[in-house]
Amino acid sequence: MSEKKSVVITGIGLISSLGEGVDAHWDALQNSISPNLDRETFSPYTVHALGEVDWGNQIPKRSDQRQMETWQRLGTYAAGLALDDAGLKGNDELLTKMDLIVAAGGGERDINVDVQILDKARSDVDRGIMLNQLLSTELRPTLFLAQLTNLLAGNISIVHKVIGSSRSFMGEEGAGLSAVDIAVARIMGGQSTHTLVGGSYNAQHYDMLLGHELSGLLHCDQWAPVWERKNANGGGLVTGSGGVFLVLEEAEHARQRGATVYAGIKSVVTDQVDRATSDVGESIKTLLVKAEVEPEEFVLSSASGVDNITQKEQSILEEFNTHYRAVCSRFGHLREAQFPFSLALGALAIRNAHSFSGFSASEHGNNRELSTLLVTTVGVKRGEGIARLVSV
């Protein structure tokens, strides 16, 4: 068997509630910039809201912008930022061979139809018949086709000319975990030399909040950092809008073209236990061991704030004596895009060789120089994973 190749991050594209680009996000981490919260639009729920975005900076054609919904624009915009950052924008020779892996949740539903269904469900006895009737008469047949994750992949290919192989995933945090895991595995195995991987999420849409609220997940009290939402009103989840893409390269490929490297990805380990029959805490512990966690390790956590799951992760991070930060306190939770988003922030810390201040008083550990860290994601409902980043 041939020796595994090394994987490095050479481009980062970020857009979130706290701005766009690597400099804005590192500044937000270093200087503990307060989250950009919208408490009014979707009251009693809070979201981490986007600021003003000039979409034309990365999506030049107005016709392209108009046919994309916000989640697609976010992803396409972040992809453009990543390609710019990696020095690949306009390099047709490399873009035609570049693989693309997208993780996103699909798009936005027909809210009017959702409202009709919920209204009728309050009084109709046979809800199954009612649901079939409304879906067959009120729902636009092409709606779902316009929301598939591979539409985002298609838009990135059209706008930015990334036309190598393409894969797309949807399904909560597990999609982001799988996207990164497969991208890394393909480069390590010599099946790919450079890949664009990431996703996007638009939290500022009623149907996205509806899906979470029907599961009792949304935080309804005054906003608080994720570790401090235990026993609050609601489930503890506060979502955020954003997009992230990473350029991953085989290390020698990056060296030969003179690319700047943020960090290396040493390993990615994932799991998806049946939480009805298995203890997710044991899965987290097993993943930490596989990732070779060390005492006082710096950990960038994607903890969502959801009661029980978040407290369990915090307890385990304390048990392993790690120094940890929960990025969702600052940016909100980005579902499918959360793992690559946290990975991007971790790469910024590695590049700058330093950790950053905690987002709440309950977080453990002081700031210090670092050359390696772990990025964790424990899904709201399913999916767990850890990546180790190292300086190279």
Inform me whether the pLDDT recorded for 58 exceeds 70. yes
Share of the chain above pLDDT 90, in %: 79
Which of 180, 188, 182 lies closest to 2, judged by CA? 188
What is the model's pLDDT at position 144?
59
Inform me whether the pLDDT recorded for 352 exceeds 80. yes
CA distance 378 to 176: 11
What is the model's pLDDT at position 204?
94
Mean pLDDT of all residues in 76-101 = 97
Inform me whether the pLDDT recorded for 108 exceeds 70. no
Higher pLDDT, 359 or 12: 12
Calculate the alpha carbon distances from 226 to 242, 301, 312, 360, 362 in Å: 18, 10, 12, 8, 10
CA distance 282 to 288: 10
Instruction: Give the domains, in start order, of the chain with CATH numbers.
Output: 7-110+142-263 (3.40.47.10), 266-390 (3.40.47.10)
Mean pLDDT of all residues in 75-96 = 97
CA distance 137 to 134: 5
Span 182-195, pLDDT tens digits: 999 999 999 999 99
Span 357-385, pLDDT tens digits: 888 888 887 788 999 999 999 999 999 99
Q: What are phi and psi of 297, to 5 degrees?
A: -65, 145
What is the model's pLDDT at position 39?
96
Mean pLDDT of all residues in 303-332 = 96
CB neighbours of residue 368 within 10 Å:
11
What is the model's pLDDT at position 111?
73
> DSSP readout, 155-168?
HHHHHH---S-EEE
Q: What are phi and psi of 69, to 5 degrees?
A: -85, 175
Phi-psi region of 354 (alpha: psi -120 to 50; beta: other; left: phi over 0): beta
**CA-angle at 379, arms to 131 and 342, nearest 5°:** 125
Range among 155-164, 200-209, 224-233 rated most confident: 155-164
Residues whose CB is less than 8 angstroms from the CB of residue 6 and which lie 6 or more positions away in sequence, other chains included: 188, 250, 251, 252, 264, 392
CB neighbours of residue 138 within 10 Å:
12
CA distance 237 to 47: 10
The two three-digit tokens of residue 52, written as one number: 């003003």
Mean pLDDT of all residues in 13-40 = 95
Q: Are 143 and 243 in contact (CB under 8 A)?
A: no
The β-bridge relationship of strands 384-390 and 7-16 is unpaired
pTM of the full structure: 0.93
Mean pLDDT of all residues in 70-74 = 94
The β-bridge relationship of strands 7-16 and 242-250 is antiparallel
Which of 99, 223, 234 lies closest to 156, judged by CA? 99
In this predicted structure, which of 31-35, 72-76, 79-83, 321-325 has the lowest mean pLDDT? 31-35
Mean pLDDT of all residues in 105-121 = 77
Inform me whether the pLDDT recorded for 167 exceeds 90. yes
Span 216-264, pLDDT tens digits: 999 998 999 999 998 888 899 999 999 999 999 999 999 999 999 999 9
What is the model's pLDDT at position 142?
59
CA distance 32 to 387: 24
3-state secondary structure 137-155: HHCCCCCHHHHCHHHHHHH
Inform me whether the pLDDT recorded for 196 exceeds 80. yes
Report residue 225 CA to chain centroid gap. Answer: 18
The two three-digit tokens of residue 324, written as one number: 């940890």
Residues whose CB is less than 8 angstroms from the CB of residue 48 and which lie 6 or more positions away in sequence, other chains included: 16, 17, 35, 36, 37, 38, 203, 238, 239, 240, 241, 242, 331, 332
